[in-house]
Amino acid sequence: MSDRLLVSKRDAASLLSVSVRTIENLIAAKRLVARKLGRRTLIPRSAIEQLARRDTPSPSIEAAEVRHEPNATNQ
């Protein structure tokens, strides 16, 4: 699998140790680049590696931080 330029959603999920649904969510949120070739959705291996190297919190952590930020009217 390491020599292929494009991988399937299932292979991408395996490489990142996440579910296929998480891969689909990342694609929908534009945090992971994907290409449609016919009926298949393929992901550049370089995009997977970039995502793995990014130092970003998970969406659930980001959502929790937004809920706990004080808004300007309550200060």
Mapped onto helix, strand or coil, the DSSP state of residue 21 is helix
- Look at residue 3 and tell me whether its pLDDT is greater than 90: no
Residue 58 structural domain: 6-64
Neighbouring C-alpha atoms within 13 Å toward the C-beta of 74: 4
Tally of domains within the chain: 1
CA distances from 46 to 8, 9, 12, 54, 62 (A): 13, 14, 11, 12, 25
In a domain, 70, yes or no: no
Q: In the prediction, which pLDDT does 1 show? A: 52
pLDDT (tens digit per residue) in 7-62: 999 999 999 999 999 999 999 999 999 999 999 999 999 999 999 988 766 665 55
Q: In the prediction, which pLDDT does 54 show? A: 84
In a domain, 33, yes or no: yes
Confidence of residue 6 (pLDDT cuts 50, 70, 90): very high
The answer to whether 23 and 15 have CB atoms below 8 angstroms apart is no
Comparing 22 with 71, which gets the higher pLDDT? 22
The DSSP 8-state label assigned to residue 34 in this structure reads -
In a domain, 42, yes or no: yes
